[in-house]
Structure 1
Amino acid sequence: MSVRRSVRGPRGLRAAGAAVAALALLAAGCGGGDPDGGTVTIRYSWWGAQDRAELIRKTIALFEKDHPHIKVKTDFAEYADFWSKFNTQAAGGNAPDVFQNSVAFLRKYGEKNLLLDLNAQVEAGNLGMDDFRAGLDKAGEVDGRLLGVPVGGNTFALVYNPEAFERVGVTPAAGWTWDEFDAAVHKISAAEGDLYGASDNGGVMYLYDLYLRQNGKAFFTADKKLGFTEADLRQWWGAHYADNKAGDLVPAKKSEQIKPKSSVSGDLSAAEFTWDNFIVRYAAETDTELALAPVPTTDGTRTGQYISSLMLSGSARTQHPEEVAEFIDFMVHDPEVGKTMGYNRGVLPTNAQFDAYEPTGVDAQIAAYEKSVTGVIEPITPHPAGADVAEAAFLRIYAEVALGKTSVDDAVTQFFSEAKTALGS
């Protein structure tokens, strides 16, 4: 249930000491307050393009109308610039009060004591953690601390060209296997001329994680290590490299030539594994009809899928934890926020928002897909500190393999060396 505090009573000692607190806030750099009217200002930062910024500002207007005692100062940037700025701010004790985060960074910044543990605010009634979809209420929990609250959730899917698959007599369906997928890819590549059966996703960490989970392993373990062996990775990268050389997967050089488009939205490929909400961007980049299909399985049953999410986290140094919690609560529970944001940050996290938004077009495809996989969703393993570095190495090193610049064996050795250094293991 969303918390509402539009009308507030006296602030007691906090109001009386506001002038002193304001000076302290300037030194700390987190938020601010108005000593005359009792208005609190919090800083909110996120990454994303201009369209996301426009939507978020509309939701902030809703929040400030509902919470007149809180003002929100905003800042946003593209992904890489956001994290560069955040790291500089955090190092100087000047991190924003509340900011966009993801599961990949919870442990990294949690272990540096940069993230606010929101459990106290839940206990105080300032933040509700009920009504979340598909176990998302647990997505931000790390080692007993609540370090993030989802504002959207997505899972992996196959974005594919249904006409190309129909022409070779294949209809992807729940429970289909990797062997069936590989056979379809080969048929499409052989029959379609310049259209390859699939993009080469051998360097996508999240896809390999699903494959490992299907086989009783995982990319990362609960004790913050790699959950697979060098032999496992040689098999994965070796199979992709062989399929690439056989002409079933899009050659790396051709993929590079059409960036920033993906291989499937650039009409080079009939299928590509990615997060289900990416179909929104892909569909906007091509006139070819695209659809979502289930992830293939090893045994016809288990996909290994989980819901990952963008989150809102608070700064451990904020002077306004209560207001930060109220802000997060509003952003994840308020139905009007859900209607405004749609699926810009992923499928809406709570049932109240999910039910309030009526998706159309591609968004309707995403909603239908998310509903279809509800029964196969499993818990996610929190990523260890250094996971982002390991993910980048996985992508970069396999790209060298796909381009023929290094062998599979050398690439595997290099990855394990870099990943173990990044994870401190």
Structure 2
Amino acid sequence: MIKRKFPLLITFSIILVLGLLSGCASNNASTEGEASEDKIQLRMTWWGSQDRHDRTQKVIELYEEKNPNVEISAQFTGWDGYWNKLATQAAGGNLPDIIQMDYKFLSEYAENGLLENLNPYIKSGSLNFDDVEPLYLDGGKLDDNLYAVNIGANAHSVVYDPAMFEKAGVSVPEPGYTWTDLQKMGKELSDELGNGVYGLQPDAGIMMFKHYLRGNGKWLYNEDGSALGYEDDQLLVDFLQNTVDVLESGAASPPELFKSAGGNIEQMPIINEKTAIFTSAHSNQILAMEQAAGRPLELTIQPMLEGGEFGHYVKPGQFFSVTSQSEKAEEAAKFIDFVTNDLEANEILNAERGVPISSKVRDHLKPNLSDAGQKMFEYLELVEGYAREINQPDPPGATEIEDFFNTQIEDAIYYGEITPEEAAQMFRKKANEVLADNK
């Protein structure tokens, strides 16, 4: 059995929870009773854009209207700091009843006992998946136990501005284009658009590297999570060299332009017409990106390796989970059922988190989708032709490894502080240290 290696803050949180759980539980129960004798009090948290916040808040209000005995307190943040905040709440035995969950954190939270097994609520009827194909639920399962409900399927994508391509006289990327094609069109765009406008925003991040590995028939981790899944470091060297090349050629925007945006969609260079291509987006982001840009944007698949394998996969966009610290787990599950199946609620959400998992909901939404929504649905259909099965969930320690990549490796490459060869050596050394605990 794989030994769990949890990020430091979460490890501390779990230890503290064990010491405080009984006291916190009684305190929470007392506080809840004082707050309201009549209403069921739930707390819910998520990350995302302002658009997601507004839509989700309206759904909460609709649920409260249809269920006047329930009151839901909403907690909304951006991606930055979200997981640290959850860890702090776990330390106090005070996690919200419902949390938005991400695929890469699912096994860590579930295997450390922080998430409720939802199978009993399916049996009781609080969760109804009669209109949901099993493949949409598989991503939220560990050992056949459902710990998270997919609230929107999506896939990685490239977003581009067709008007900027037309202005530059450059052909838009067609499915099947290669990494070399991407570099070439980025340079052409930069040359033609000029005046501090660039062809593309580069991405030397871990998700893009995973896509590159899949194109090479590899994966980041081996099957038992005890080592990296590729032996030849030249794969990482070549991937990072792509970024070095596009930066040095002027095809890509300098890091100062896109790093200042942080995780704010509204400040992304493509939104402000500073780049024509955003190379690594989740397909569901097209809704918020078009709204922020105020003009049409388009989706296409990510670049392929000539003669390589398909790098794409269809994945759960985000999940909703019920935490094990909730004292109202069944009521929390009922709200997730509402988000999954209620037609009026999904009219409000408008597939902002991804394509809904209920076939009944999808059929209901299709005729009235916005242009951006149509693009998202159509992109999922497109990507199925360039996708393979999703890899197994990331192993223990993956969060630490990937955070190291996205900070110590990615940024150092952007700013020319290390060579791709040095980066590959650094990454393997770090990964070996972390994954050794899984042997």
TM range (shorter): 0.7 to 0.9
Q: Give the Cα separation in 1 of the matches to 2:130 and 2:383.
A: 21
1:365 equivalent to 2:375? Answer: yes
Alpha-carbon distance, 1:140 to partner: 0.6
Residue equivalent to 2:141: 141
Q: 1:272 aligns with which of 278, 283, 290?
A: 278
Q: Give the Cα separation in 2 of the matches to 1:253 and 1:35.
A: 48
Can you list the C-alpha shifts for 1:346-382, whole angstroms capped at 9, x where unaligned? 3333223333332213233222222332344443331
Report the more deviating stretch, 150-159 or 52-61. 52-61
Sort the Cα spacing of 1:343 and 1:389 in 2 relative to 1 into closer, same or farther, 3 A.
farther
1:209 is paired with a residue whose SS is: helix
Alpha-carbon distance, 1:165 to partner: 4.0
Alpha-carbon distance, 1:210 to partner: 1.7
Can you list the C-alpha shifts for 1:37-82, whole angstroms capped at 9, x where unaligned? 7753332222335543332232223323444444433333333343
Residue equivalent to 2:417: 405
1:382 is paired with a residue whose SS is: coil
Kept after mapping to 2: 8 A contact 1:41/1:72: yes
Kept after mapping to 2: 8 A contact 1:333/1:353: yes
Sort the Cα spacing of 1:353 and 1:386 in 2 relative to 1 into closer, same or farther, 3 A.
farther
Q: Give the Cα separation in 1 of the matches to 2:156 and 2:361.
A: 21
Q: Give the Cα separation in 2 of the matches to 1:280 and 1:39.
A: 35
Q: Give the Cα separation in 2 of the matches to 1:123 and 1:221.
A: 35
Q: 1:231 aligns with which of 234, 238, 243?
A: 234
Kept after mapping to 2: 8 A contact 1:334/1:352: no
Q: Give the Cα separation in 2 of the matches to 1:231 and 1:95.
A: 43
Residue equivalent to 1:291: 298
Kept after mapping to 2: 8 A contact 1:39/1:69: yes
RMSD, aligned CA: 3.2
Q: How many residues align?
A: 402
Kept after mapping to 2: 8 A contact 1:25/1:32: no
Q: Normalization by structure 1: what TM-score? A: 0.83
Residue equivalent to 1:20: none
Can you list the C-alpha shifts for 1:324-366, whole angstroms capped at 9, x where unaligned? 2222111111111111111332333322333333221323322
Q: Give the Cα separation in 1 of the matches to 2:105 and 2:347.
A: 28
Q: Give the Cα separation in 1 of the matches to 2:260 and 2:102.
A: 30
* Equivalent residue letter for 1:141: K
Q: Give the Cα separation in 2 of the matches to 1:74 and 1:254.
A: 33
Alpha-carbon distance, 1:302 to partner: 2.2
Q: Give the Cα separation in 2 of the matches to 1:97 and 1:355.
A: 30
Kept after mapping to 2: 8 A contact 1:48/1:79: yes
Pairwise mapping of residues 150-189 of structure 1 onto structure 2 (< 5 A)?
Answer: 150-166=150-166, 167-168=168-169, 170-189=171-190
Kept after mapping to 2: 8 A contact 1:33/1:41: no
Kept after mapping to 2: 8 A contact 1:33/1:39: no
Identical columns (%)? 26
Pairwise mapping of residues 405-424 of structure 1 onto structure 2 (< 5 A)?
Answer: 405-423=417-435, 424=437
Can you list the C-alpha shifts for 1:189-228, whole angstroms capped at 9, x where unaligned? 44443443322112x2222212211221123444234323
Pairwise mapping of residues 10-49 of structure 1 onto structure 2 (< 5 A)?
Answer: 26-27=26-27, 32=32, 40-49=40-49
Alpha-carbon distance, 1:233 to partner: 0.9
Sort the Cα spacing of 1:398 and 1:75 in 2 relative to 1 into closer, same or farther, 3 A.
closer
Q: 1:348 aligns with which of 356, 363, 378?
A: 356
Q: 1:339 aligns with which of 347, 362, 369?
A: 347
Q: Give the Cα separation in 1 of the matches to 2:36 and 2:258.
A: 59
Alpha-carbon distance, 1:103 to partner: 0.7
Higher share in helix:
2
1:212 equivalent to 2:220? Answer: no
Residue equivalent to 1:18: none
